[in-house]
């Protein structure tokens, strides 16, 4: 049944005025290579590459490096020992003189470590594959590879200069993060465009042109300890916990209506004394109900859709934290590092329009932008600020990422490969 479908699709390509002869050839090659792509995806899914399984991450990287080597790419392994991770795969192939330089971003690791029960793929039916990392994002890695193979087999890969970076720590970034993301940043500074093959919101009809930032903050509050009968007095004041509550309530009141901005207090400790456990993300407190709290500590995260929105929110939060109740002091600290936002720029919208045009010409329908609130942080955010335009979410459709029920839709694998290949081809022609 699947073979018949492919045949009918190829027949429809030959009759579409929107696809020129070169594009029809590329589409045909993508269909011809679909069986190989599916087998590679099965192999990759069955290879454990949990972020902290360094040997497994390198094994997946080595398999893909061999594939890129066979296509004439210059491949290297960026060792990750400096940031306590396995490292990254980098593959480069120069196109013809003046060809646009395109950065393609994937990742090799998954959330499923070797001790997780989810280790092998299973087929729910003829087209739905369940398995660790099938959509997040080994399916996307296969789409990158076979989109490029389709262009090469059709004779058009030289229209673009390609640099591929597949990281080994997207699911659990190494530290320091500046070293962890150095390979992406450096590649982006050489590139005109950045294209990510994460699965976005896992729908075939969407792509990502904006991602929110992800970073942390902490709030440390000090109060004047005393017997509880003296709270609110001129000598004692409100105590640390009331001051902490005031600040969090003001964050909620003044910032909750800002579109796409979220700020979450994830942990709170408060009492006479606080002992934090940074390793296990927690701690212990001592105190009594009849003692005014001397210390309160909050840790949280903040996500914004643009640098401007993030800075505006930080300024408001800092102002709120500085307006203290009597005999209290609050220190708000925004943590260094984290994921920057991927702004919804005019260039990103142009890339989405081109990608949607390709999809429509292939008979797949239009592609719309994922709402930023539904697009988590991803590696492309470290590239977006350096390139003319970026787009993400071109990976395999499916769902239930990061769970034992994660699945990918193999029915859309060759469609996604074909669409990505023609997108790259048209970028090369346009530039």
Read off the pLDDT of residues 281-321 as tens digits, 9 standing for 90 and up.
789 999 999 999 999 999 999 999 999 999 999 999 999 99
Inside any domain, residue 2: no
pLDDT cut 70: percent of the chain above it = 96
Query: Is 110 in the same domain as 177?
Result: yes
End residue of a domain, out of 334, 353, 371: 334
Inside any domain, residue 11: no
Inside any domain, residue 107: yes
Measuring CA to CA, which residue among 312, 377, 383, 396 is closest to residue 348? Answer: 383
Inside any domain, residue 73: yes
Question: With the C-alpha atoms ordered 376, 377, 383, 388, is the resulting torsion angle positive or negative?
Answer: positive
Is the pLDDT assigned to residue 267 strictly greater than 60?
A: yes
pLDDT of residue 72: 97
Residues 308-319: b if buried by 16+ CB within 10 A, e if exposed: ebbeebbebbee
Inside any domain, residue 52: yes
The secondary structure of residue 282, as a DSSP letter, is E
Cross-strand partners of 110: 50
What's 30's domain CATH number? 3.40.630.10
Cross-strand partners of 268: 298
Query: Is 24 in the same domain as 75?
Result: yes
pLDDT cut 90: percent of the chain above it = 90
Query: Is 266 in the same domain as 389?
Result: no
The secondary structure of residue 199, as a DSSP letter, is -
Cα separations (Å) of 40 from 44, 63, 158, 166?
6, 10, 24, 16
Inside any domain, residue 5: no
pLDDT band at 5 (very low <50, low <70, confident <90, very high): very low
pLDDT tens digits, one per residue of 129-151: 999 999 999 999 999 999 999 99
Query: Distance (Å, rounded) from C-alpha 90 to C-alpha 187?
Result: 9
CB 106 within 8 A of CB 164: yes
Tokens representing residue 11 in the block? 């027949």
Is the pLDDT assigned to residue 7 strictly greater than 70?
A: no
Query: Is 419 in the same domain as 383?
Result: yes
Is the pLDDT assigned to residue 11 strictly greater than 80?
A: no
Tokens representing residue 40 in the block? 């590679």
Query: Is 104 in the same domain as 206?
Result: yes
The secondary structure of residue 134, as a DSSP letter, is I
> What are the backbone dihedrals phi and psi of residue 416, each rounded to the nearest 5 degrees, phi first?
-70, -40
pLDDT of residue 377: 83
Query: Is 281 in the same domain as 418?
Result: no
Is the pLDDT assigned to residue 14 strictly greater than 50?
A: no
Domain around 304: 217-334
Model pTM score: 0.88
Is the pLDDT assigned to residue 3 strictly greater than 50?
A: no
Q: Is 395 exposed, middle or buried (0-12, 13-18, 19+ CB in 10 A)?
A: buried
In the chain, the number of structural domains is 2
Q: Coil, strand or helix: which one is 221?
A: strand
Query: Is 173 in the same domain as 304?
Result: no
pLDDT of residue 345: 95
Give the helix/strand (H/E) hosting 115.
none
Q: Is 253 exposed, middle or buried (0-12, 13-18, 19+ CB in 10 A)?
A: exposed
What is the number of other CB atoms lying within 10 angstroms of the CB of residue 229? 9
pLDDT of residue 15: 38
Average pLDDT over residues 26-30: 97
Cα separations (Å) of 351 from 176, 202, 388, 429?
32, 19, 10, 14
- What is the number of residues in the chain? 431
Is the pLDDT assigned to residue 4 strictly greater than 60?
A: no
pLDDT of residue 58: 98
Residue 418 CA to its chain's centroid (Å): 23
Query: Distance (Å, rounded) from C-alpha 363 to C-alpha 341?
Result: 33
Q: Of residues 336 and 133, which shows the higher confidence score?
A: 133
Q: Please spell the DSSP secondary structure of 289-346, one letter per residue.
A: TTB---EEEEEEEEE-SSHHHHHHHHHHHHHHHHSPPTT-EEEEEEPS--BPPB---H
For residue 346, what are the contacts with CB-CB under 8 A and spacing of at least 6? none
End residue of a domain, out of 334, 358, 378: 334
Tokens representing residue 158 in the block? 């030289």
How high is the mean pLDDT of the chain?
A: 93
Query: Is 181 in the same domain as 280?
Result: no
pLDDT band at 195 (very low <50, low <70, confident <90, very high): very high
What's 229's domain CATH number? 3.30.70.360
Average pLDDT over residues 59-70: 98
Query: Is 176 in the same domain as 267?
Result: no
Tokens representing residue 107 in the block? 């990742």
Question: With the C-alpha atoms ordered 238, 240, 245, 250, is the resulting torsion angle positive or negative?
Answer: positive
Inside any domain, residue 3: no
Question: How many Cα atoms within 13 Å fall on the side-chain side of residue 77?
Answer: 19
Is the pLDDT assigned to residue 369 strictly greater than 50?
A: yes
Q: Coil, strand or helix: which one is 118?
A: coil
pLDDT of residue 431: 62
Query: Is 383 in the same domain as 277?
Result: no
Query: Is 297 in the same domain as 403?
Result: no
pLDDT of residue 326: 95
pLDDT tens digits, one per residue of 157-172: 999 999 999 999 999 9
Query: Is 177 in the same domain as 222?
Result: no
Query: Distance (Å, rounded) from C-alpha 95 to C-alpha 9?
Result: 30
pLDDT of residue 243: 98
Average pLDDT over residues 337-364: 96
Average pLDDT over residues 204-215: 95
Inside any domain, residue 7: no
End residue of a domain, out of 284, 316, 334: 334
Is the pLDDT assigned to residue 16 strictly greater than 70?
A: no
**Angle between the N-to-C axes of helices 413-430 and 34-45, in degrees from 0 to 180, rounded to the nearest 10:** 110
Own/partner contacts of 318-322, CB < 8 Å, gap of 24 or more, are 320/247, 320/250, 320/251, 320/254, 321/219, 321/247
What is the number of other CB atoms lying within 10 angstroms of the CB of residue 347? 18
Tokens representing residue 297 in the block? 């500590």
pLDDT of residue 8: 37
Average pLDDT over residues 346-373: 96
Answer left, alpha or beta for residue 406, where phi above 0 means left and psi between -120 and 50 means alpha.
beta
Is the pLDDT assigned to residue 1 strictly greater than 60?
A: no
Query: Distance (Å, rounded) from C-alpha 266 to C-alpha 255?
Result: 17
pLDDT of residue 6: 41
């Amino acid at each position: 049944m699947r073979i018949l479908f492919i045949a009918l699709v190829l027949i429809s390509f030959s009759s579409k005025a929107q696809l020129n002869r070169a594009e029809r050839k590329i589409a045909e090659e993508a269909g011809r290579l679909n069986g190989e792509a599916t087998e590679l995806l099965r192999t990759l899914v069955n290879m454990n590459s949990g972020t902290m399984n360094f040997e497994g991450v390198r094994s997946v990287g080595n398999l893909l490096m061999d594939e890129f080597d066979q296509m004439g790419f210059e491949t290297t392994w960026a060792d990750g020992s400096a940031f306590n991770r396995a490292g990254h795969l980098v593959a480069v192939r120069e196109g013809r003189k003046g060809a646009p330089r395109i950065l393609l971003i994937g990742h090799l690791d998954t959330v499923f470590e070797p001790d997780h029960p989810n280790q092998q793929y299973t087929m729910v039916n003829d087209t739905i594959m369940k398995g660790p990392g099938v959509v997040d994002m080994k399916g996307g890695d296969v789409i990158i590879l076979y989109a490029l193979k389709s262009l090469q087999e059709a004779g058009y890969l030289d229209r673009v200069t390609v640099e591929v970076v597949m990281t080994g720590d997207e699911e659990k970034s190494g530290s320091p993060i500046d070293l962890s993301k150095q390979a992406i940043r450096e590649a982006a500074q050489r590139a005109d465009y950045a294209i990510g093959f994460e699965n976005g919101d896992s729908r075939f009809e969407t792509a990502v042109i904006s991602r929110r930032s992800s970073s942390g903050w902490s709030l440390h509050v000090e109060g004047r300890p005393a017997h509880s009968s003296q709270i609110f007095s001129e000598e004692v004041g409100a105590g640390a916990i009331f001051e902490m509550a005031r600040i969090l309530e003001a964050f909620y009141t003044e910032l909750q209506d800002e579109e796409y901005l979220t700020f979450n207090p994830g942990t709170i400790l408060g009492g006479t004394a606080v002992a934090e456990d940074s390793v296990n993300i927690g701690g212990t407190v001592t105190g009594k109900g009849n003692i005014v709290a001397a210390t309160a500590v909050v840790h949280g995260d903040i996500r914004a859709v643009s640098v401007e929105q993030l800075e505006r929110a930080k300024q408001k939060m800092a102002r709120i934290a500085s307006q203290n109740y009597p005999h209290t002091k609050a220190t708000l600290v925004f943590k260094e590092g984290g994921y920057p936002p991927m702004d919804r720029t005019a260039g990103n919208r142009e890339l989405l329009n081109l990608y949607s045009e390709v999809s429509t010409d292939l008979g797949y329908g239009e592609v719309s932008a994922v709402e930023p609130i539904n697009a988590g942080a991803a590696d492309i955010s470290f590239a977006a600020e350096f390139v003319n335009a970026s787009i993400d979410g071109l990976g395999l459709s499916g769902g239930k990422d990061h769970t034992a029920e994660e699945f990918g839709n193999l029915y859309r694998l060759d469609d996604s490969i074909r669409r990505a290949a023609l997108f790259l081809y048209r970028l090369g022609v346009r530039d």
